[in-house]
């Protein structure tokens, strides 16, 4: 089927509106809820004493929307490739039933975690850091708006996974939308500056295999550790988990909510 230029333009605008709205809604909702409405109640859960200046948040917002625009551009390529029959496995997966739908959603998230872990470590090599990953680390103290604040190269690596995965793994198209939902949901919370995951009596996270906000916050503070986005597996297997991660997590997550201002020493820039 032939796709006209106005149709492509329409797809692009729709894509930007869809992903841009989702990013903006999550970022603004998390910021407004945690940083404004509940800031006093959750004071004991604030990871760092300092709060980023409003200008940082605005800049992050701008760069995140730029990433969304790139995602939509690649999204058009995916749609056109789909029409050209370049995703034959997706066609089979469309009719494979609910169990496969859920299994392929889990598979896609687990595979993305591995992809980000390895590409993230690669981006931290001195040779590539400036081109691919410096923008994200300009937010030494992140905010809910940091989620998609990427250099072009990093944004391309992120959306590249979405373009390639359905070609090598039978993934129904409906999974992609939930996958993107999971991505922005977790990503916004990882940068939110407040530790909200519940701790067990021994101070470890209830779901120790999931990353926490403290986990990723430590990466922004000391960039040699904690490269994985969603699960703690790769950092544990490869010895890149921050040696103080669990102690820092426990110090924040187990602090009584009515405790006075944060006694946690400020994290230093790496
Ligand atoms: Zn980050
Ligand atoms: Zn990094």
pLDDT 10s digits, 120-148: 999 999 999 999 999 999 999 999 999 99
Q: What is the pLDDT of residue 270?
A: 41
Residue 210, domain member (yes or no)? yes
Range of the domain at 242: 5-253
Closest CA to 47 of 221, 227, 184: 221
pLDDT 10s digits, 20-60: 888 899 999 999 999 999 999 999 999 999 999 999 999 99
Which H helix or E strand runs over 246?
helix 245-253
Which H helix or E strand runs over 66?
helix 54-83
Phi, psi of 232, deg, nearest 5: -85, -5
Residue 118, domain member (yes or no)? yes
Residue 148, domain member (yes or no)? yes
Q: Kindly indicate the confidence band of residue 260, based on its pLDDT and cuts at 50, 70 and 90.
A: low
Closest CA to 233 of 143, 89, 155, 117: 117
Ligand nearest to the CA of 139: 1
Residue 269, domain member (yes or no)? no
- Ligand 2 centroid to residue 265 C-alpha, Å: 22
Q: What is the pLDDT of residue 96?
A: 87
Residue 144, domain member (yes or no)? yes
- Ligand 1 centroid to residue 239 C-alpha, Å: 19
Residue 268, domain member (yes or no)? no
- Ligand 1 centroid to residue 191 C-alpha, Å: 6
Give the chain's mean pLDDT: 91
Domain tally for the chain? 1
Q: What is the pLDDT of residue 269?
A: 44
Residue 39, domain member (yes or no)? yes
Mean pLDDT of all residues in 190-209? 94
What is the distance between the alpha carbons of residues 226 and 242, in angstroms, rounded to a whole number?
A: 6
Phi, psi of 78, deg, nearest 5: -65, -45
Asked whether the beta carbons of 195 and 177 are under 8 A apart, the reply is: no
- Ligand 1 centroid to residue 261 C-alpha, Å: 25
Q: Kindly indicate the confidence band of residue 263, based on its pLDDT and cuts at 50, 70 and 90.
A: low
pLDDT 10s digits, 65-102: 999 999 999 988 998 898 898 898 888 888 888 999 99
Q: What is the pLDDT of residue 1?
A: 56
Q: What percent of the chain has pLDDT over 90?
A: 76
Q: Computed over its alpha carbons, how large is the radius of gyration of the chain?
A: 19
Select the more confidently predicted residue: 270 or 200.
Answer: 200
Residue 261, domain member (yes or no)? no
- Ligand 1 centroid to residue 146 C-alpha, Å: 7
What is the distance between the alpha carbons of residues 22 and 88, in angstroms, rounded to a whole number?
A: 29
Closest CA to 143 of 228, 44, 211, 216: 216
- Ligand 2 centroid to residue 89 C-alpha, Å: 33
- Ligand 1 centroid to residue 73 C-alpha, Å: 23
Q: What is the pLDDT of residue 15?
A: 82
- Ligand 1 centroid to residue 90 C-alpha, Å: 31
Q: What is the pLDDT of residue 148?
A: 94
Tokens encoding 138: 């300009």
pLDDT 10s digits, 212-225: 999 999 999 998 99
In the predicted model, is pLDDT for residue 244 greater than 50?
Answer: yes
């Amino acid at each position: 089927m032939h796709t006209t230029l106005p149709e492509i333009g329409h797809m692009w605008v729709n894509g930007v509106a869809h992903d841009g709205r989702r990013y903006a809604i999550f970022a603004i909702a998390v910021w407004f809820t945690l940083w404004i409405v509940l800031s006093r109640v959750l004071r004991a859960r604030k990871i760092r004493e300092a709060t980023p200046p409003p200008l940082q948040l605005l800049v992050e917002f701008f760069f995140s929307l730029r990433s969304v625009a790139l995602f939509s551009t690649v999204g058009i390529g995916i749609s056109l490739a789909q029409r050209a029959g370049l995703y034959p496995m997706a066609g089979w997966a469309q009719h494979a039933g609910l169990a496969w739908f859920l299994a392929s959603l889990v598979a896609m998230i687990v595979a993305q975690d591995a992809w980000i872990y390895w590409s993230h470590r690669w981006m931290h090599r001195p040779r590539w850091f400036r081109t691919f990953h410096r923008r994200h680390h300009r937010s030494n103290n992140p905010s809910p708006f940091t989620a998609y604040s990427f250099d072009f190269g990093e944004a391309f690596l992120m959306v590249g996974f979405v373009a390639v995965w359905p070609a090598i793994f039978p993934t129904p198209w409906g999974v992609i939308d939930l996958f993107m939902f999971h991505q922005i949901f977790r990503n916004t919370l990882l940068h939110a500056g407040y530790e909200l995951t519940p701790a067990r009596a021994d101070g470890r996270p209830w779901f120790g295999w999931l990353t926490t906000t403290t986990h990723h916050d430590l990466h922004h503070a000391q960039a040699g550790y904690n490269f994985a986005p969603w699960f703690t597996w790769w950092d544990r297997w490869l010895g890149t988990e921050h040696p103080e991660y669990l102690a820092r997590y426990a110090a924040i997550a187990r602090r009584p909510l009515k405790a006075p201002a944060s006694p946690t020493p400020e994290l230093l820039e790496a």
